[in-house]
Structure 1
Amino acid sequence: MRRFGLALLSLCLSGAAPAFAQSPPAGPVGDHVRAYVASVNSADPTEMSNIRDRDFSEAFNKQVSLRSFQRFSRNQRRATGGIDLVAVRPADPTASRVEVVLKDRLYGGLHGLALEFETTGERRITSVEPGATPAWSAELASPLPAKALAASIERMVARGCESDVFSGAVLVAKDGAVLVEKACGEANRRYHARNTVETRFNLGSMNKMFTAVAVLQLVEAGKVSLDDPLSRYADETWLPRAVSDPITVRQLLTHTSGLGNYLGDRFRGSSRALYGQLDDYKPLVQGEAPEFKPGTQYAYSNTGMLMLGVVIEKASGVSYFDYVREHIYKPAGMTRTDSYPMDQPVENLAVGYVYAPDQPYGWRENTFDHTFRGSPAGGGFSTVGDLLRFATALQAGKLVSPAGLKTLWTDHPPNGYGAGFTVQASAAGRIVGHDGSFAGISSQLDIYLDRGYVAVALSNQDAGATTLIGAIQSEVARVAGP
C-alpha cells in the first residue's frame, strides 16, 4: 500500500508482555511515538518541524519535504479532529515494525496504522502506513447490534458533513441491499450545486481495479499470460528492451516491477491537454528505469499500471478506454462511470477542492492539478451506486472467474496488495478494494469478503473519505456474526 498516511504508532513489549499495551513503552521508540501523535494534534508549524527533524529518519526526510510533512499533519488533524492512542503491538520480534490502533475524535472510529523504525541507533521512524484495524483489535470495541449499524453510520456521516470535513457521497450495503446512501456538500462551490448520490466523483487510483480486471479477462481469454514480459506488448518507443524484458505482467499488477511514477515533475510542469490517449504519455515514461530488480520488492507504481493499459490495448486491439467501457462498465451496469475528458460538459460531475486556509475562500479548485482524462492508473469518474454494481458483478462472477478473483485478491507477497486491489486482514474480516487520493480527491471502495458488506465513500475534498471509511470499518467490526 502507499505509505505515509494517517497518524499514530507505538511499539513493543517483550515476550512476557500482554498482547497489546495502552501506551508506548519507555525509550527511543516510545518517544518517537508520542512525538508523532503530537505532530498530528499540534497546530504549531515549528513543533512539526522539530518533530520531523528529530523523530524521523534521514531517508524519510529526504523523501518527504518539511512543507509536505506540515501539510500532511494539518490535513490529518482536520480530517480526524485529532487522534488518540488505543493499543499497540509489535509486528516482528525486533519491534522494527509495529501495529497501532488509534481513535479519531471526529467520528469516534478505530483505525489501524503500521510504523517502521530504524533497527539500530536512535530507532527513528522510517515509514508510516495506514490501513484497516488489525484482526487482533476486535476485542477492543463494544458489540453493536446489526439493526443499529445503519443508524450509527448515518450519525458518523452527519458529523463529517456538519464539520465540512466530508463533502461527497457514501453508500453501505449488506448482501446487495442498501443500508445507507447519503450525500452532502457541494459538487461545485462556484454555483452552489449540491452533491447527490448520483454525482460523479473523481476516483483517483481506484481505476487500478478496472485495469487489473481487464488484464485478468484477457488472461482468461488466452490473449495475455501473467508471466509474459512487458516487451511483448510495449515497444521501444515506450521503454528499451533492457528495461521491459525483465518485467512481467504479474509484476506490473502487484507493484513489484520497480517502475515509478510518471506523474512527476515533468507532468506537473506541462499542459494537461497534452495527455488524452495512452501514447501521449510516452515522453513521461521514456528514460525510466526500475528502482530495483523486478520481482524482488514492492513499491506502489503508477507507471506500472499505465503500462498495463498498453498491454490491454495491444492484446485487445482496441483503446484502453473502449475496452473497459465495453467489458467492465457495460456488463456491470455502470452507466455513470468513465474517464471523461475534462473539456466535455458531463452532467453532475464534481469539482475537487484542496483545503487552503491561507487563501481568501479557504479552498482551491484542483482543475489544474489532475489529468485531462483518466488513465489506467487513475483519474476516472464514478458514483457510489456504480461502484456497488461493480462489486456485485465481481463477486457474482460476471467479470472474471473465481480463479481470476483469487489472483486479484491474494496478497502476493504479503504487503497489503494483491493485483490491482488492496487486501486487508482486519477486525471486520477480509476486505478488498482500493482507495484513491490526489489533490481535492479522496475515495475508497471496501468489499467485505467474509461479511457481505460493501462500503463506498467518494469525496471531492482532500482526505474526505479516508477517515470516514475507516470509521465505518470499525462499526462493521463491532457487529457480531457474518
Structure 2
Amino acid sequence: MKNQIASFILTCFLVSACSAPTEEKSNTEPSNSHSYSSDYKKPAFANDQRAEKIKGIEAELKVLMEEYGKENHIPGIAYGIVVDDNLVLSDAVGFMNLENQVPATTNTDFRIASMTKSFTAMAIMKLRDEGKLALNDPVSDYIPEMANITYMTKDAPVIDIENLLTMTAGFPEDNPWGDRQLDETNQMLLDMISEGITFSNVPSFQYEYSNTGFAMLGYIVSQVSGKPYQEYIKEEFLKPLGMNQTYWEVDDVPAEQLAIGYRWEDEEWKLEPMLHDGSFGAMGGLITTIEDFSNYVSFHLSAWPPRNEDEVGPLKRSSLREMQTPQFPRLNNNAKNYRDEPCPIVSGYGFGLGIYQNCEGQKWVSHGGALPGFGSNYVFYPEYGIGIMAFCNLTYTTPWPLQKIQQLLFDKLELQPRTLHVSNILASRKKQVQESFLKGENALEEDIFSENFFLDQSKEHRIKEINDALNEIGTVQSVSEITPQNQLRGTFRIHGELKDIIIYFTLSPMKDAKIQQLLFAVVEKENQ
C-alpha cells in the first residue's frame, strides 16, 4: 500500500502537467466583465538572471552558427534570442548577397515562408473575438464554392474554419506543390475549389499539413474584414507590433535589405527566382527581419502566465494561448531530447503553431518555414519566457543547430521555468494539515476536511496510518514549505530523524475549500 501511495504522490509531484486543464474555446468574444480573484499571484522567476546568462553565451553561439553555416553551405544566417519583451542577443553570419558580398545582419529581410501561418491564425482569432465569425462555421459560409465539393465518405463532417486552422480538413500534404503557388490569384484558388479537391483523409480524422487550407483562411480574412488579407495583417498586427521592416511583396523591400535566395547544387550556389506575393501569401508570404520578428515572438510570450493585468496587445492573451493549445496530439515514443537521449514527445498542431512537450515536462511552441531560396525557424518556451529564432537564405534548409543551442540554454546556463506562488488558501490548509498530522492520536479533529473525507476512509484507519508513519520516521526534526502544483493542491515533507514523510493533499471546489484527499508515504531522507 505504501509503495502505491508513494508512486501516486510522486507522480502528482513530478508530472503535475498530466492533469492540467486546457483553455476553453468560445465562438464569440468572451466577456471581460467577469469577476476575478484579486488575491491571485502569477508564477514568477526566482532570482531571475536569464538575460545576463544568455548574453554570456554570445561568442559561443556565434561560433556554433558559423560552423553550422559552413558545414551546410548556407550563404547567410541571422538569429536572435528574446527574453520576455527584449531582444537580448542577436547577430548574423555569412552573406545576404553572395554576388556583391553583402554581409547578413539582423536588419536583413528574409522570406520566412510558413512562419507566416500563425499571423493568419491570429487574424482569424481576432475576427472571432470580435464576433465576426465562429471557428465552427462551415468554410462554405465564406467560400461558397466549398459547398459543392465531393467528400471522401458519406459520413464526413462538413469542413469548418477550425479544420483549416488545425490541418484536419482532410487535404493532402502539399509542400512541393504549394510552394510554387505563392503568387497565384484569388480566382485561381476559387477555380481550383470549383473544379474539385482530392482528399487524403476524412475531415476531423487526423492531422495532415496543408498549405491550401491556409490559403483559404487568408481568403476568409479578406471576405470577413472587407480588406485584402495582406493589408489586414499589416494594419492589425504588423504596425501595432512595430514590425515596420516587414513586407509581403519582394519588390517592396529596399534592395540593400533584401536577402537573396540560393540553392546548393552541383557543388555550387545557384540563384533561386524570388517568388512574388499572391493568394497563397497567407500560408507563407511574409518577409521580415530578426529585429522585427523578435517583437512578434515577444508578443506570443506575453500571453504567459495568465494574470490580472490589462490587455495591451492586438490580440487577447487568452486567444494567443488558445492558438498555442495542441489539437489531435500524437505520441512519438522514439523521440530523443537535445542530449540525444531517449525521451518520448507528445506533439500537436494548434492554430498555425506546433506544440510539443517532452518526457521531462518541458513545453515549447514552434514553427519552421521553407521556400525556394530560404529556410527559417523559431521556438519559444512559454514557461521560461524565452524565444529563439533564425533565418537563412538557402532552399529548404534548417537555419540552426537547434539541439546544441538547447544544450547551451538548459544545460550550460541551467535556465529554469517560472515557479508557482502558494495561494492563500493552500498555505492556510497546509499549516492546518501539518498541525493536525503531528497530533498523533488526536489527529484529524479539525473542521478542515470535506464531507467525503471520512466516507472514503474511516477516521480510525487514517489515524492508525498516521501514527505508524510517525513512529517509523522517528523524532520530527523539521517540516518543509509546501510545493504547489496549482492553486488548490501541493506536497510537503515532514523530516524525521530516520526517514521522511511526503504529504500530498488537494482541496475541494467549494468557496470554503476543504481537504478532499490526503495521501502520504514514508520515504528515505532527502538531503536538506
TM-score, L = length of structure 2? 0.57
Query: 1:186–1:193: 8 Å Cα contact kept in structure 2?
Result: yes
Q: Among residues 213, 218, 230, which one is paired with 1:321 in the alignment?
A: 230
CA deviation vs aligned residue, 1:15-42 (integer Å, no higher than 9, x gap) = xxxxxxxxxxxxxxxxxxxxxxxxxxxx
Structure 1 residue 266: deviation in Å?
9.5
Query: For 1:215, what is the secondary structure of its paired residue?
Result: helix
The aligned counterpart of 1:155 is: 63
What does 1:136-147 correspond to in 2, within 5 Å? none
CA deviation vs aligned residue, 1:344-389 (integer Å, no higher than 9, x gap) = 765411111111125xxx0122216x45456111032011111110
Query: 1:410–1:423: 8 Å Cα contact kept in structure 2?
Result: yes
Inter-CA distance 456–366: structure 2 relative to 1 (3 Å threshold) = same
Structure 1 residue 340: deviation in Å?
1.1
What does 1:216-255 correspond to in 2, within 5 Å? 216-236=125-145, 240-242=148-150, 246-255=158-167
The aligned counterpart of 2:106 is: 197
Letter in 2 for 1:257: A
Query: 1:428–1:477: 8 Å Cα contact kept in structure 2?
Result: no
1:343 and 1:387 map into 2 onto residues whose CA distance is: 18
What does 1:95-174 correspond to in 2, within 5 Å? 148-163=56-71, 165-166=73-74, 167-174=76-83
Check if 1:188 corresponds to 2:97. Answer: yes
Structure 1 residue 261: deviation in Å?
5.4
Structure 1 residue 434: deviation in Å?
1.2
CA deviation vs aligned residue, 1:314-342 (integer Å, no higher than 9, x gap) = 11111100100001101111111121144
Inter-CA distance 317–372: structure 2 relative to 1 (3 Å threshold) = closer
Q: Among residues 392, 413, 417, which one is paired with 2:298 in the alignment?
A: 392
Query: 2:124–2:221: 8 Å Cα contact kept in structure 1?
Result: yes
**How many residues are matched?**
330
Query: 1:429–1:451: 8 Å Cα contact kept in structure 2?
Result: no
Query: 2:167–2:213: 8 Å Cα contact kept in structure 1?
Result: yes
Structure 1 residue 264: deviation in Å?
5.8
Structure 1 residue 440: deviation in Å?
2.2
Inter-CA distance 378–439: structure 2 relative to 1 (3 Å threshold) = same
Query: 1:186–1:194: 8 Å Cα contact kept in structure 2?
Result: yes
What does 1:459-474 correspond to in 2, within 5 Å? 459-462=392-395, 464-474=397-407
1:146 and 1:198 map into 2 onto residues whose CA distance is: 21
Structure 1 residue 474: deviation in Å?
3.1
The aligned counterpart of 1:381 is: 287
Inter-CA distance 468–287: structure 2 relative to 1 (3 Å threshold) = same
1:338 and 1:451 map into 2 onto residues whose CA distance is: 30
2:55 and 2:282 map into 1 onto residues whose CA distance is: 39
Query: For 2:159, what is the secondary structure of its paired residue?
Result: coil
2:265 and 2:101 map into 1 onto residues whose CA distance is: 18
Letter in 2 for 1:320: Y
Check if 1:413 corresponds to 2:308. Answer: no
Inter-CA distance 154–193: structure 2 relative to 1 (3 Å threshold) = closer
Query: For 2:281, what is the secondary structure of its paired residue?
Result: coil
Letter in 2 for 1:475: L
Check if 1:289 corresponds to 2:220. Answer: no
Inter-CA distance 475–240: structure 2 relative to 1 (3 Å threshold) = farther
Q: Among residues 254, 259, 281, which one is paired with 2:171 in the alignment?
A: 259
Structure 1 residue 450: deviation in Å?
1.2
Inter-CA distance 218–346: structure 2 relative to 1 (3 Å threshold) = farther
1:218 and 1:317 map into 2 onto residues whose CA distance is: 11
The aligned counterpart of 1:401 is: 316
The aligned counterpart of 1:353 is: 262
What does 1:70-85 correspond to in 2, within 5 Å? none
Structure 1 residue 400: deviation in Å?
1.9
Check if 1:423 corresponds to 2:355. Answer: yes
* Structure 1 residue runs without a partner (length 5+): 1-144
Structure 1 residue 277: deviation in Å?
4.2
Q: Among residues 349, 362, 366, which one is paired with 2:272 in the alignment?
A: 366
Q: Among residues 207, 210, 218, which one is paired with 1:298 in the alignment?
A: 207
Query: 1:456–1:469: 8 Å Cα contact kept in structure 2?
Result: no
Structure 1 residue 153: deviation in Å?
1.9
Structure 1 residue 466: deviation in Å?
4.2
CA deviation vs aligned residue, 1:255-290 (integer Å, no higher than 9, x gap) = 00012356665985x9x7xx3543343344442133
1:282 and 1:263 map into 2 onto residues whose CA distance is: 19
2:200 and 2:396 map into 1 onto residues whose CA distance is: 29
Query: For 2:328, what is the secondary structure of its paired residue?
Result: coil
Query: 1:187–1:349: 8 Å Cα contact kept in structure 2?
Result: yes
Inter-CA distance 400–384: structure 2 relative to 1 (3 Å threshold) = same
Query: 1:204–1:438: 8 Å Cα contact kept in structure 2?
Result: yes
Structure 1 residue 241: deviation in Å?
4.9
Larger radius of gyration: 2
Q: Among residues 385, 389, 414, which one is paired with 1:456 in the alignment?
A: 389
1:379 and 1:292 map into 2 onto residues whose CA distance is: 27
The aligned counterpart of 2:115 is: 206
Check if 1:475 corresponds to 2:408. Answer: yes
Query: 1:201–1:459: 8 Å Cα contact kept in structure 2?
Result: yes
2:253 and 2:84 map into 1 onto residues whose CA distance is: 36
Inter-CA distance 293–334: structure 2 relative to 1 (3 Å threshold) = same
1:329 and 1:250 map into 2 onto residues whose CA distance is: 24
Query: 2:85–2:299: 8 Å Cα contact kept in structure 1?
Result: no
Q: Among residues 335, 339, 352, which one is paired with 2:244 in the alignment?
A: 335
Letter in 2 for 1:455: I
Inter-CA distance 219–343: structure 2 relative to 1 (3 Å threshold) = closer
TM-score, L = length of structure 1? 0.62
Inter-CA distance 184–200: structure 2 relative to 1 (3 Å threshold) = same
Inter-CA distance 247–164: structure 2 relative to 1 (3 Å threshold) = closer
CA deviation vs aligned residue, 1:374-411 (integer Å, no higher than 9, x gap) = 61110320111111101222333513223212221111
